[in-house]
Amino acid sequence: MPIRIPDELPAYRFLTEENVFVMSDNRALTQNIRPLNILILNLMPKKIETENQFLRLLSNTPLQLNIKLMRLVTHESKNTPIEHLDNFYCSFDEIKDKNFDGLIVTGAPLGKVAFSEVSYWHEIEKIIHWSKDHVTSTLFVCWAVQAALNILYGLPKSTLIDKLSGVYQHNITEAHGLLTRGFDDSFWAPHSRYAAFEVETLEKLAGIDIFAKSEEAGAYLFASKDKRQVFVTGHPEYDVHVLSDEYHRDIAAQLNPNLPVNYFPDNDSSKAPKAIWRSHAYLLFANWLNYYVYQITPYDLSVMNPTLD
């Protein structure tokens, strides 16, 4: 089954050219099935690029997905045309009385910024608290993980001295975990963050299961036992070029960045990198949609009280 997005959204043409199964609103109206309603809170600066990345991963499922994009009203995007935001994005006020099967909160370039200094922190708090009663399962990515752990569990911000950048090897820690079903025992995933996620700290949180970790990058994938919150500390959605773009951007800004680990062939930044994380990324999102959303969400979303295993 495809993801359902507006015909005019740039991702429709972009993904169609990649032979990704997407469905226009017009065609979807002819199908008599109950799609999953997925809300994406896009915090990344390059919103169109981020849309393409997440929609590509969400497309690899037999379920039909209704996608809705949300932006913050307390932050002005400088890297996305206002016409695009006005045409394809909603505000929190427009959807706060509705329920959703799933919510994805993306990362944001705020690794060194204290929570108290984030201009839209109060809006993020409001949305995350709202999601507990209005969303079956919420998936937090990178910076959003740190924000959610602070808001939901009171965990203070922990920041690395040097940026963690590169593609790291991870090991699954739960032999029969639903989120890692079908994973190899070890797999690769990209990271680009200053946030620190120490396994020992997370193991002390009540109600949290850790499913994958890395010796170098720390905890990668963990979730609440009731399946309502899922945390991914890396960027499985990243296209192959993104870490390269970030590195050369920081070089141009004279920030003296470290070379991304396990990324450029022969550690030569002039050589084109290859993606070695795509298969795990597709499987992770398919598992989340199936086991943490579809299997427990109510058919009638007006009754947001799913039965959890």
**104-149 pLDDT, tens digit each:** 999 999 999 999 999 999 999 999 999 999 999 999 999 999 999 9
pLDDT at 175: 84
C-alpha closest to that of 165 among 138, 188, 192 = 192
Host H or E run for residue 279: helix 278-287
For the CA atoms of 140, 65, 240, 82, what is the dihedral angle to 10 degrees?
-80
Q: Helix/strand/coil (H, E, C) string of 220-276?
A: EEEEECCCCEEEECCCCCCCCCHHHHHHHHHHHCCCCCCCCECCCHHHCCCCCCCCC
pLDDT at 77: 82
DSSP assigned state of 29? T
Beta strands in the chain (DSSP E): 3-5, 22-24, 36-41, 65-70, 89-90, 100-105, 135-141, 159-172, 186-195, 208-214, 218-224, 229-232
What percent of the chain has pLDDT above 70?
Answer: 91
| Residue 142 is a catalytic residue | yes
* Cα gap 9→127, rounded to integer Å: 24
- Of the listed 134, 191, 235, 280, which one is catalytic? 235
* Cα gap 105→262, rounded to integer Å: 27
- Give every CB contact of residue 288 below 8 A, 6+ residues apart in sequence: 102, 137, 139, 179, 230
Assessment of whether the complete model's pTM goes beyond 0.85: yes
Is residue 21 within 8 A of residue 2, CB to CB? The reply is yes
Please report, for the chain, the start and end positions of each structural domain, with discontinuous segments joined by +: 3-159+194-238+289-294
Host H or E run for residue 52: helix 47-58
pLDDT at 307: 46
pLDDT at 156: 95
Q: How confident is the model at residue 300 (pLDDT cuts 50, 70, 90)?
A: confident
| Residue 237 is a catalytic residue | yes
What CATH class is the domain 3-159+194-238+289-294? Answer: alpha beta
Q: Poorest-confidence range of 62-76, 101-115, 291-305? A: 291-305
Checking DSSP bridges between strand 208-214 and strand 218-224, what pairing results, if any? antiparallel
pLDDT at 62: 82
pLDDT averaged over every residue in the chain = 91
pLDDT at 60: 84
192 is in an annotated binding site: yes
- Of the listed 49, 142, 170, 191, which one is catalytic? 142
Residue that the structure tokens 């090897």 belong to:
169
| Residue 134 is a catalytic residue | no
- Of the listed 170, 191, 237, 280, which one is catalytic? 237
